[in-house]
């Protein structure tokens, strides 16, 4: 995308220009290129989606057979339309040299952009490092031996191949080490570079060289990558306050980790999937967070503001028309107050959420990440039950859902370990008897729609089935103008 005359052209200035000579990188050089801000955002989002797929499939317990796990990841990446990463992890299926460079350029730039997004805290840094290591491992496993050797050479690791003849001459004297692989699995390096492997007797030594099986080669390279990335993220954080001040991309790098990048659950005027006559029956398909709010509304005849927002927008996204929403809330609230008070204090907000008051914005339902990141005070019932509810209360809530004791314990374990969306996915599986079509639940309305489909309900085609526009994935930030290049934030990192 070319810059328009009104935009400020900024190039990325760094001492070393990267060469796009391999699909796999240790990301030691910040790319010395110029990209526009549409690319800045699009590439970062694409990589984040890949990292989230890796996390979700890992937490679902699919890693015992790594070959099957790899196939699952590649399948999901392809299904999500992440074609550039799909090409990279499949050994670089390129039409020409320019496409080759473009895919590798996206890989480099997206990694460095996400360093900014995930440098802000120990928790975010840990998440990013673990996901990048998983991606690195996946990509390494799919490389041919020649590509692995090329990678080792380009990164000055001093590993070299073991020829068939060389392997045969020493196979008899290798003892048990020879049983762990064949000549195609061994690399050799000066023994002084792998002292830990020598100490643990995991290598064969001969003529000053250590013969190392490729899994141990990867282990060493991976440890180097982890250590270097950890150090660079800390350095990145030291510059973050300066970089984030730029109004053109500051908001993006501050909030991308909280953004929702899935289906858009805004609804049209004629949506009629849900009605006040079917809502009680349909609540069987609600996620736990919304089912709890529905029960409280029916029993207490009132919800506080944040709970009304969370539940009201969910119902809107599920297809409840404005007129029926007003009837629902009025019928419940007027059991504790007169209709005049309801009309004066509450009806405006309901119309506002449907885009009929104020700025007339068609507000979208809250995503899982927005609910999880929100604050929940004492005596409030909104939020994510897997995060904002203590274990005992969550257990009691789950026990009312008619799911097995084993499933309850699995959900509690996931919740306690901070895997809230995977816990919700596990609840979906336990409640419906099958897994959702997605890798993990990312939105309450996604849970409802998937569950309704399984129960044979007719989900209206009016729901916007397209992916949310990737230039507006951050729910809480409107009209961000990224008329800047990637180079601008690198300039500030170098100050």
Quick check: 347 pLDDT over 90? yes
Whole-angstrom distance, CA of residue 473 vs CA of residue 334 = 38
Which residues are CB-neighbours of 294 under 8 A, at least 6 positions away? 279, 283, 286, 311
- Is 313 a residue whose pLDDT tops 50? yes
Report the chain's C-alpha Rg in angstroms. Answer: 27
- For the cut 50, the answer to whether the pLDDT of residue 153 exceeds it is yes
Give the whole-angstrom CA distance, residue 296 versus residue 153. Answer: 63
Q: Is 289 annotated as contributing to ligand binding? A: yes
Question: Is the predicted pLDDT of residue 171 greater than 80, yes or no?
Answer: no
119 annotated to a ligand binding site: no
438 annotated as a binding-site residue: no
162: confidence class by pLDDT, cuts 50, 70, 90: confident
What is the CA angle 388-390-396, rounded to 5? Answer: 110
Lowest model confidence (mean pLDDT) among 121-125, 398-402, 473-477: 473-477
Residue 76 has pLDDT above 80, yes or no: yes
- CA-wise closest residue to 109 among 249, 222, 204: 249
287 neighbors 444 (Cβ within 8 angstroms): yes
Query: Is residue 424 annotated as involved in ligand binding?
Result: yes
Distance separating alpha carbons of residues 423 and 414, to the nearest angstrom: 5
- 45-84 CB burial, b ≥16 within 10 A, e <16: bbbbbbbbbbbbbbbbebeeeeeebbebbbebbeebebeb
pLDDT of residue 429: 92
Q: Are 454 and 434 in contact (CB under 8 A)?
A: yes
Alpha carbon of 360 to those of 269, 348, 363: distances in Å?
A: 14, 12, 9
491 CB contacts (<8 Å, ≥6 apart)? 10, 12, 13
With tokens 């309900």, the residue in question is 457
Burial class (CB in 10 A: 0-12, 13-18, 19+), 402: exposed
pLDDT at residue 353 tops 80: yes
């Amino acid at each position: 995308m070319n810059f328009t005359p009104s935009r400020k052209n900024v190039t990325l200035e760094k001492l070393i220009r990267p060469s796009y000579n391999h699909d796999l990188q240790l990301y030691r050089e910040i790319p010395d290129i110029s990209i526009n801000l549409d690319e800045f955002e699009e590439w970062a989002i694409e990589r984040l989606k890949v990292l989230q797929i890796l996390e979700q499939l890992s937490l679902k317990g699919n890693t015992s057979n790594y070959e099957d796990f790899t196939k699952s990841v590649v399948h999901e990446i392809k299904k999500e339309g992440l074609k550039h990463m799909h090409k990279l992890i499949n050994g670089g299926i390129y039409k020409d040299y320019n496409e080759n460079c473009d895919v590798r350029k996206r890989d480099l730039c997206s990694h460095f952009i996400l360093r900014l997004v995930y440098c802000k805290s120990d928790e975010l840094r840990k998440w990013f490092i673990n996901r990048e290591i998983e991606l690195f491992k996946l990509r390494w496993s799919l490389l041919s031996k020649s590509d692995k050797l090329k990678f080792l050479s380009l990164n000055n690791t001093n590993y070299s191949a073991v020829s068939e003849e060389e392997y045969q001459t020493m196979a008899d004297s290798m003892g048990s080490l020879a049983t762990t692989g064949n000549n195609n699995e061994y690399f050799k390096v000066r023994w002084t570079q792998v002292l830990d492997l020598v100490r643990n007797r995991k290598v064969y030594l001969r003529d000053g060289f250590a013969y190392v099986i490729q899994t141990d080669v990867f282990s060493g390279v991976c440890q180097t990558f982890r250590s270097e990335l950890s150090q660079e993220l800390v350095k990145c954080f030291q510059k973050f306050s300066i970089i984030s001040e730029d109004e053109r991309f500051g908001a993006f790098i501050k909030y991308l980790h909280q953004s929702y990048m899935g289906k858009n659950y805004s609804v049209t005027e004629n949506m009629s999937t849900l009605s006040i006559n079917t809502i009680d029956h349909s609540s069987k398909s609600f996620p736990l967070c919304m089912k709890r709010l529905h029960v409280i509304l029916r029993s207490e005849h009132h919800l506080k503001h944040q709970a009304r927002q969370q539940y009201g927008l969910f119902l809107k996204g599920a297809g409840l028309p404005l007129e029926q929403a007003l009837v629902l809330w009025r019928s419940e609230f007027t059991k504790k107050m007169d209709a005049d008070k309801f009309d004066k204090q509450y009806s405006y907000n309901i119309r506002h959420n449907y885009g009929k008051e104020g700025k007339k914005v068609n507000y979208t339902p809250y995503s899982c990440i927005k609910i999880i990141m929100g604050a929940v005070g004492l005596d409030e019932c909104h939020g994510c039950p897997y995060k904002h509810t203590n274990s005992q209360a969550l257990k009691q809530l789950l026990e009312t859902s008619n799911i097995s004791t084993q499933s309850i314990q699995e959900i509690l374990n996931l919740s306690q370990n901070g895997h809230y969306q995977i816990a919700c996915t596990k609840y979906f599986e336990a409640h419906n008897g099958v897994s959702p079509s997605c890798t993990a639940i990312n939105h309450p309305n996604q849970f409802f729609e998937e569950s309704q489909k399984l129960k044979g309900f007719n989900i209206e085609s009016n729901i916007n089935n397209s992916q949310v526009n990737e230039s507006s994935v951050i729910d809480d930030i409107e009209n961000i103008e990224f008329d800047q290049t990637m180079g601008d934030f690198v300039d500030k990192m170098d100050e």
